[in-house]
Amino acid sequence: MKPVAPAEFVAAPARLPLVTRRRVLHGVGGIAFAGLATVGYGAGAEAQSLMVTRYRPAPRNWPARLRLTVAVISDLHAGGPNMGVAHVRRAVDTANALSPDLMLLLGDFFATHRFITEHVPHPVWAAELARLKAPLGVYAVFGNHDWWHNIAATRAALAGVGLPALENRAVRLAKDGQPFWLAGLGDQLAHKLGPGWYQGEDDLPGTLAQIGDDAPVILMAHEPDIFVDVPDRVALTLSGHTHGGQIRVPFVWQRLVPSRYGARFAYGHVVENDRHLIVSGGLGTSGVPVRLGVPPEIVHITLGGT
Ligand SMILES: [Fe+2]
């Protein structure tokens, strides 16, 4: 075997940069620094920011004469570092400042990740939500994390401050004498049966069967996947759960959205076959207390009035 001179190993073409251990370490250090800075930004500035996202959907079956404004708080996941009680308070104050006709809470009320730095007890986040004010009321549905971690305590917390939760129930409301229905669906992932296998508490046919006249319908459903089964009769479906992807690493995040439909219902206003869905990116975090590319948001919706 012909011996190979060490020079043949280390010599590099003159036009190419010489790869030395120092340069490799600089490169790795730079990437690590950029990664840490990104995570730091995602855990700090972005996860603790707050924005209001506004929509003006025009569903075919919502009467133009019925102007209704709705503020939506989804996926509160109360708990530090990013959703400590001060931030919960700020979210409530921001929602109140919008002065909507109706406030809707779309579930997943408390943080369940392993990195909680500030525990916000159930009665504390519930007391903050009890400060929400809207002339047509404040209504809630529960989310999968509420079910997986303590549905009894979540139910008790909302009931303790007089906030009604709609579980497969529809209520008839009216704005300026014009009726509409608000329906709330039981959680679709309530019971974990195995990896990726769940049994829900949702009963869409039973919920919609309670609608006794032809007034327009708003449906609250924590997870957006139900949208494929929602009939034309419903003017607008409101969901959360996905956190908009939460950490939008380019090219990858779409595969990490917790939905059977990938990014199809991940975020925003979706219109399919004349049916309307709005998915909130929510406020808090799950898994890790980091957000990237999807800042915490309160959704403000205006229906009708055109
Ligand atoms: Fe969820």
Amino acid, single-letter form, for residue 45? A
**Burial class of residue 33, CB neighbours in 10 A (0-12, 13-18, 19+):** exposed
pLDDT at 48: 78
98-128: pLDDT as tens digits: 999 999 999 999 999 999 999 999 999 999 9
27 C-alpha to ligand 1 centroid (Å): 38
pLDDT over 70 at 31, yes or no: no
DSSP state of 168: S
pLDDT of residue 36: 47
What local confidence, expressed as pLDDT, does residue 1 receive?
A: 38
Structure confidence at residue 242 (pLDDT)? 98
Distance from the CA of 76 to the center of ligand 1, in angstroms? 10
Average pLDDT over residues 29-57: 68
Q: Dihedral of CA 282/239/122/117: which sign?
A: negative
Distance between Cα 30 and ligand 1 center (Å)? 35
Looking at residue 6, its pLDDT comes to 32
> Which tens digits make up the pLDDT trace of 215-248?
999 999 999 999 999 999 999 999 999 999 999 9
**Is the per-residue pLDDT at 63 higher than 60?**
yes
Supply the pTM of this predicted model.
Answer: 0.86
More confident position, 8 or 164:
164
Q: Is the pLDDT of residue 32 over 80?
A: no
Distance in Å, CA 258 to ligand 1 centroid: 8
Residue 5 Cα to ligand 1 middle (Å) = 61
**Mean per-residue pLDDT, 39-56:** 78
> How far is residue 108's CA from residue 223's CA, in Å, rounded to a whole number?
10
Q: How far does the centroid of ligand 1 lie from the alpha carbon of residue 109, in Å?
A: 9
Mean pLDDT, all residues of the chain: 89
| Mean pLDDT (whole number) for 273-288 | 97
**pLDDT over 90 (residue 197):** yes
Look at residue 29 and tell me whether its pLDDT is greater than 90: no
pLDDT higher than threshold 80 for residue 17 = no
Tell me the CA–centroid distance for residue 212 and ligand 1, in Å.
30
Looking at residue 45, its pLDDT comes to 66
Cα 271 to Cα 10, 60, 108, 234, distances in angstroms: 60, 11, 25, 13
Ligand 1 geometric centre to CA of 242 (Å): 7
* Ligand 1 centroid from CA 143, angstroms: 5
What per-residue confidence (pLDDT) applies to 19? 45
Q: Which residues, including other chains, have CB under 8 Å from residue 259's CB and lie 6 or more apart?
A: 223, 224, 225, 241, 242, 265, 266
**Ligand 1 centroid, distance to 146 Cα (angstroms):** 8
Q: How far is the CA of 38 from the centre of ligand 1 (A)?
A: 24
For ligand 1, the distance from its centroid to the CA atom of residue 36, given in whole angstroms, is: 27
Using DSSP's 3-state secondary structure scheme, residue 284 falls into coil
Give the model's confidence band at 196: pLDDT under 50 very low, under 70 low, under 90 confident, else very high. confident
Centre of ligand 1 from the C-alpha of residue 219, in Å: 17
Using CA atoms, how far apart are residues 138 and 212, in angstroms rounded to an integer?
Answer: 22
Å from CA of 257 to ligand 1 middle: 11
Residue 142 Cα, ligand 1 centroid: separation in angstroms? 9
- Is the pLDDT at 83 greater than 90, yes or no? yes
pLDDT tens track for 132-157: 999 999 999 999 999 999 999 999 99
Rama region for 261: left / alpha / beta (φ>0; ψ in -120 to 50; rest): alpha
CA distance 15 to 44: 43
Determine which of 88-102, 166-180, 199-213, 248-262 has the lowest per-residue pLDDT on average.
Answer: 248-262
Eight-state DSSP code of residue 42: I
Ligand 1 centroid to 31 CA: how many Å?
32
Residue 116 phi/psi, 5-degree rounding, is: -70, 125
Contacts by 57-61, CB closer than 8 A, 24 or more apart:
57/236, 57/269, 57/271, 57/276, 57/278, 57/301, 57/303, 58/306, 59/216, 59/235, 59/236, 59/274, 59/275, 59/276, 59/303, 60/274, 61/216, 61/232, 61/233, 61/235
The token pair that represents 104 in the structure block: 């809707």
Fold (CATH) for 3-9+18-303: Purple Acid Phosphatase; chain A, domain 2 (3.60.21)
Query: Does residue 102 contact residue 182 with C-beta atoms inside 8 Å?
Result: yes
Other C-beta atoms closer than 10 Å to the C-beta of 198 total 16
Q: Which residues contact 15 (CB under 8 A, 6 or more apart)?
A: none
**Rounded CA gap, 211 and 213, in Å?**
6
Residue 16: band (very low, low, confident or very high) from pLDDT cuts 50, 70, 90 = very low
Q: What is the mean pLDDT of residues 75-104?
A: 97
The alpha carbon of 15 and the centre of ligand 1 are apart by a number of angstroms equal to: 54
> With pLDDT > 90 as the criterion, what percentage of the chain qualifies?
83
Mean pLDDT, rounded, for 182-188? 98
In 3D space, the residue among 236, 130, 140, 218 whose CA is nearest the CA of residue 173 turns out to be: 218
